[in-house]
C-alpha cells in the first residue's frame, strides 16, 4: 500500500486542508473575542480602568473634643497605615509570610483580615495596620519593591492627649460592625469605616464624623502609584465643647491615686455636677484604659488583657455599675419621713446599739449606741436605729415613691449608652420579680440603704442635687457643637420638682451640714476651709458582717471589703456644685470617699477665687465617730 505525505496531496487537497486550518484558527479567535468583548467585557473594562486609574478614599479627621475652657481632650494626628489591594497580590502566600516577618504579626491574622473579597471589593484597600511605628514602617518601605499590592498611606488618627484621664467618658473607636452596616442609621457608611463605638465618641458620632475626600491616581500593573490626577480634600468633623472641667477631672484623678507607696490606686468613680445648669463638671471611672490603644485598631494582646481583667477596666462605673447605697440613702429616707408626716424634726429615738423587730436583732454601726437622737443628730451621726425605727412605720411603698421623685431607680438621661437604671424596691416590684409579697422586716434593711436598693454614682449625684435645689435635674455633657456653618448650643437641662416640700428639704440640708461641719459628724474629712459643705457618708456591705467582723481590715481580701460612698453639695446654704463619690471596696465612706470629694470641691472653689490655693490640701483628722 502506498502512503502519501502532505506534499504528495493534490494541490486542491492541500488548499482545502489549509483553508480548514485557517477557518478553525479564525473561529477560535472569534470565540475568544466574543468572550472578551461580550461575556467578560464589564469585568475586564473595570479591571482595565482600575489598573490604570484608581480612586483612593481620604478619611476625614474627626472633630476635636474640648472641655468647657477649650482644652483639648481629643484631636487628630497623622499616622501611617499599611494596606493591601487584594486584586494586586501576585503571590498571596509569599506576600503575607513576608509581611508577618516584617510586622512581627501572625500570618493567619493578616490573611484573615483580607479574606476572599469578590467583585469590586477586590480593588478596595484592606487595612492591615492602622498605625505603623517607625521601625515597622522602615522595614516595609525597604521591601516595597518585592511586595506588589502592598501600600502605606498617611491617614488621620484619633489622639487623646490626656490618655486615661477621661477614657470612659470619651469612649472608644472601632471599625463598623456588620450589624451596624445593616442599620438605617449607618446607611451612608461602608465596611472598614472607623466610628465611635462607646462613650461620647459614639453618642456624638454624627457631629464628630467629617466628610471623606478622595484622590484619582494612576497606578502600574503592581498597584504602585505613578501619578495623581485629581484630589478632593476631606472635610473635618465639627468641634465639640463639653461641660467637663479638666481641672476638676484631674482633681478627682489625683485623689483616687493619692495612696501609700506601693499600693494600687482606688477603684470607683466620681461625678461632679453644677446644680444650677446640670453641667457635668467631672466624670471619672477607675480602673481605666488608654483610648489611644483603640484609635488605630486595638491589638489582640491588649484587648485580651482588658477583657480578662477581673476589675473590668472597660466598664464605666459612673453610669453602668450599680451598688447598694448604704447610709447615703438615709437622707432620702429622712426626706420621705418628713414629707409623709411620719416624724417631725423633733422626733427622737433612743439608740442602744441595736433594734429588735420580727424576732430579729438589727445592729447599729456603733455597737454602744448613740443614745437619744433626733433627726438632725441621726443624720449627723448616721444612726441606724433611728432609721430602722421610723422606716418600718413609713413602709416601703411610700419610701419608694419619694425616692423615685429624686431620680433614683431610673436612668438619668445623661446621654451615654449603657446607663444602668439602678433599683428602688417596692412591694409591687417584688411581686413581679419574685412572685412574693413584701415583708415588713425587709423595710428595716431598705431604710439604711441595704437589701435590694441599688444606685449608680451618677444617680447619687442627681438625687443629692434634688436635696440641694428641690428639683430633679437631667445632667448634660454637651455645651455646644461648632460647625462650619454656625454654632449649635445645647438645650438647657430639664428640671422637675422633687416630691418633698422645701421646708422639709431644709431640715435634711441642715443635718447634712452637721455631717461635715460639726464635731462628731461622719464626713469631717470632706471639709473645705472657707466653704460650708453638706454631705453624707455611706458604707455598703459586700459580704455578711459575720464573715469579716473578727478580721483586721487590712487582712480582709480586697474583693470582700465594703464599698465606700460619699455625696455632698456646697455651699450648703446656696448650692452650686454636687459631688458623688463611690470607692469600690474602699471600706468607709468617711475615710475612703469623703477625701476624694474634698479634693474636687476644694479645686472648684479655688478656681472660683473663694479659697486660696494654699488651703486646698487642708484635712480634718478622722474621729472615732467618722467610720461609717
DSSP string, 97-163: HHHHHHHT--HHHHHHHH----GGGGGS-EEEESS--HHHHHHHHHTGGG-TTEEEEEEEEEE-TTG
Tell whether 223 and 359 lie within a shared domain. Answer: no
Mean pLDDT confidence for 592-601: 96
Residue 468 in domain:
yes
Q: Is there a single domain that holds both residue 523 and residue 421? A: yes
Q: What is the pLDDT of residue 623?
A: 43
How far apart CA 365 and CA 590 sit, in angstroms, is 13
Q: Are residues 182 and 278 in the same domain?
A: no
Specify whether 383 is located in the same domain as 235.
no
CA 317 to chain centre: 9
Mean pLDDT is lowest, of 74-78, 184-188, 319-323, 417-421, for: 184-188
CA distances from 234 to 186, 215, 237, 569 (A): 19, 10, 10, 46
Using a 10 angstrom Cβ sphere, with 0-12 exposed, 13-18 middle and 19 or more buried, the burial of residue 87 is middle
Q: 541 lies in which domain range?
A: 249-287+316-477+488-615
Q: What letters, b where the CB count within 10 A reaches 16 and e where it falls short, cover 292-318?
A: bbbbbbbeeeeeeebeeeeeebbbbbb
pLDDT in tens, 170-183: 999 988 888 998 88
Confidence of residue 404 (pLDDT cuts 50, 70, 90): very high
C-alpha cell at 69: 475652657
Q: Are residues 282 and 207 in the same domain?
A: no
List all residues 6 or more positions away from 13 whose beta carbon is below 8 Å from its beta carbon.
none
Q: Is the same domain home to 333 and 451?
A: yes
What strands lie across the sheet with 53-58, from one edge to the other?
53-58, 213-219, 225-232
Does residue 510 surpass a pLDDT of 80?
A: yes
The reply to whether 222 and 360 lie within a common domain is: no
Q: Is residue 581 part of a domain?
A: yes
| β-bridge mates for residue 495, sequence order | 473
In the chain, the number of structural domains is 2
My answer on whether 198 and 268 are in the same domain is: no
Confirm whether 374 is domain-assigned: yes
Same domain? For 232 and 265 the reply is no
The pLDDT tens digits of the residues spanning 562-573 come to 889 999 999 999
Q: Indicate the residue among 188, 221, 242 that finishes a domain.
A: 242
Q: What percentage of the chain reaches a pLDDT higher than 90?
A: 58
Say what the pLDDT of residue 617 is: 46
DSSP string, 551-566: S-GGGS-GGGSPEEEE
Domain final residue pick, 242, 263, 296: 242
**Is pLDDT at 159 greater than 50 in this prediction?**
yes
Q: pLDDT tens digits, residue range 2-43? A: 454 555 656 677 777 777 777 777 778 777 777 767 666 666
Angle at 593 between CA 589 and CA 595, to 5 degrees: 120
How many other C-beta atoms lie within 10 A of the C-beta of residue 278? 24
What rounded mean pLDDT belongs to the chain? 88
On the question of pLDDT at 615 being above 90, the answer is: no
Average pLDDT, integer, range 199-210:
95
Who contacts 484 (Cβ-Cβ below 8 Å, separation ≥6)? 235, 238
pLDDT at 620: 47
pLDDT at 422 over 90: yes
Please indicate, yes or no, whether residues 256 and 140 belong to a single structural domain of this protein: no
Residue 331's CATH number: 3.40.710.10
Q: Is residue 98 part of a domain?
A: yes
Q: Which residue has the higher pLDDT, 360 or 42?
A: 360
CATH of the domain at 208: 3.90.1310.10
Give backbone dihedrals phi and psi of 284, rounded to 5 degrees, phi first. -120, 140
Whole-model pTM over 0.75: yes
Q: What are phi and psi of 392, to 5 degrees?
A: -60, -40
37 within domain boundaries: no
Say what the pLDDT of residue 625 is.
41
Query: What is the average per-residue pLDDT within 301-320?
Result: 93
In a domain, 543, yes or no: yes
Dist. CA 224–CA 204, nearest whole Å: 37
**Is 220 inside any structural domain?**
yes
Do 590 and 517 have their domain in common?
A: yes
Residue 373 pairs in a beta bridge with: 349
**CA–CA gap between residue 507 and residue 521 (Å, rounded):** 16
Domain end, chosen from 242, 266, 301, is at 242
The three-state secondary structure class of 273 is: strand
Higher pLDDT residue, 82 or 483? Answer: 483
Which region, left, alpha or beta, applies to residue 245 given φ > 0 means left and ψ of -120 to 50 means alpha? beta
In a domain, 560, yes or no: yes
> Is residue 401 domain-shared with residue 430, that is, in the same domain?
yes
Q: How far apart are CA 209 and CA 192, in angstroms?
A: 14
Residue 616 has pLDDT above 50, yes or no: no
Amino acid at each position: 500500500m502506498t502512503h502519501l505525505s502532505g506534499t504528495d496531496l493534490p494541490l486542491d487537497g492541500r488548499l482545502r486542508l489549509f483553508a480548514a486550518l485557517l477557518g478553525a484558527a479564525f473561529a477560535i479567535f472569534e470565540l475568544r473575542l466574543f468572550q472578551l468583548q461580550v461575556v467578560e467585557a464589564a469585568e475586564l473594562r473595570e479591571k482595565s480602568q482600575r489598573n490604570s486609574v484608581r480612586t483612593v478614599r481620604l478619611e476625614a479627621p474627626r472633630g476635636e473634643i474640648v472641655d468647657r475652657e477649650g482644652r483639648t481632650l481629643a484631636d487628630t494626628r497623622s499616622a501611617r497605615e499599611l494596606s493591601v489591594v487584594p486584586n494586586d497580590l501576585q503571590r498571596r502566600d509569599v506576600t503575607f509570610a513576608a509581611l508577618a516577618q516584617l510586622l512581627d504579626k501572625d500570618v493567619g491574622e493578616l490573611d484573615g483580615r483580607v479574606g476572599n473579597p469578590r467583585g469590586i471589593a477586590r480593588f478596595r484597600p484592606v487595612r492591615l495596620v492602622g498605625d505603623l511605628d517607625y521601625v515597622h514602617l522602615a522595614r516595609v518601605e525597604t521591601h516595597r519593591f518585592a511586595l506588589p499590592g502592598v501600600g502605606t498611606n498617611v491617614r488621620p488618627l484619633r489622639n487623646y492627649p490626656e490618655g486615661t484621664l477621661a477614657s470612659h467618658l470619651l469612649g472608644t473607636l472601632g471599625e463598623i460592625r456588620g450589624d451596624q452596616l445593616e442599620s438605617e442609621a449607618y446607611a451612608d457608611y461602608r465596611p472598614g469605616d472607623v466610628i465611635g463605638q462607646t462613650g461620647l465618641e459614639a453618642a456624638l458620632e454624627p457631629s464628630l464624623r467629617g466628610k471623606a475626600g478622595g484622590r484619582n491616581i494612576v497606578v502600574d500593573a503592581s498597584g504602585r502609584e505613578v501619578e495623581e490626577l485629581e484630589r478632593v480634600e476631606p472635610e473635618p468633623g465639627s468641634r465639640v465643647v463639653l461641660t467637663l472641667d479638666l481641672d476638676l477631672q484631674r482633681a478627682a484623678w489625683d485623689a483616687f491615686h493619692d495612696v501609700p507607696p506601693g499600693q494600687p490606686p482606688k477603684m470607683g468613680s466620681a461625678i461632679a455636677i453644677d446644680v444650677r445648669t446640670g453641667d457635668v463638671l467631672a466624670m471619672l471611672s477607675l480602673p481605666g484604659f488608654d483610648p489611644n490603644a483603640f484609635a488605630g485598631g486595638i491589638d489582640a494582646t491588649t484587648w485580651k488583657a482588658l477583657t480578662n481583667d477581673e476589675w473590668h477596666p472597660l466598664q464605666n462605673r459612673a453610669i453602668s455599675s450599680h451598688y447598694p447605697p448604704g447610709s447615703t440613702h438615709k437622707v432620702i429616707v429622712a426626706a420621705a419621713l418628713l414629707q409623709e408626716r411620719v416624724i417631725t424634726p423633733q422626733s427622737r429615738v433612743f439608740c442602744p446599739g441595736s433594734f429588735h423587730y420580727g424576732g430579729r436583732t438589727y445592729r447599729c454601726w456603733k455597737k454602744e449606741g448613740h443614745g437619744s437622737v433626733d433627726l438632725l443628730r441621726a443624720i449627723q451621726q448616721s444612726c441606724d436605729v433611728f432609721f430602722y425605727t421610723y422606716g418600718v412605720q413609713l413602709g416601703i411603698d411610700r419610701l419608694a415613691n419619694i425616692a423615685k421623685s429624686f431620680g433614683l431607680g431610673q436612668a438619668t438621661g445623661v446621654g451615654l449608652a449603657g446607663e444602668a437604671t439602678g433599683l428602688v424596691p417596692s412591694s409591687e416590684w417584688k411581686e413581679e420579680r419574685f412572685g412574693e409579697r413584701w415583708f415588713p422586716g425587709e423595710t428595716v434593711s431598705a431604710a439604711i440603704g441595704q437589701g435590694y436598693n441599688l444606685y449608680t454614682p451618677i444617680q447619687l449625684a442627681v438625687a443629692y442635687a434634688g436635696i440641694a435645689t428641690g428639683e430633679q435635674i437631667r445632667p448634660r455633657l454637651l455645651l455646644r457643637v461648632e460647625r462650619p456653618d454656625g454654632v449649635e448650643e445645647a438645650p438647657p437641662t430639664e428640671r422637675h420638682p422633687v416630691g418633698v416640700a422645701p421646708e422639709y428639704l431644709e431640715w435634711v440640708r441642715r443635718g447634712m451640714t452637721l455631717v461635715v461641719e460639726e464635731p462628731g459628724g461622719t464626713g469631717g474629712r470632706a471639709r473645705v476651709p472657707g466653704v460650708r459643705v453638706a454631705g453624707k457618708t455611706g458604707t455598703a456591705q459586700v459580704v455578711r458582717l459575720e464573715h469579716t467582723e473578727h478580721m483586721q481590715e487590712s487582712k480582709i481580701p480586697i474583693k470582700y471589703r465594703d464599698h465606700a460612698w460619699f455625696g455632698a453639695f456646697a455651699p450648703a446654704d446656696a448650692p452650686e456644685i454636687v459631688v458623688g463619690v463611690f470607692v469600690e471596696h474602699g471600706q468607709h465612706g468617711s475615710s475612703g470617699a469623703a477625701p476624694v470629694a474634698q479634693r474636687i470641691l476644694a479645686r472648684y472653689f479655688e478656681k472660683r477665687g473663694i479659697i486660696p490655693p494654699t488651703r486646698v490640701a487642708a484635712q480634718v483628722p478622722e474621729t472615732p465617730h467618722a467610720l461609717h
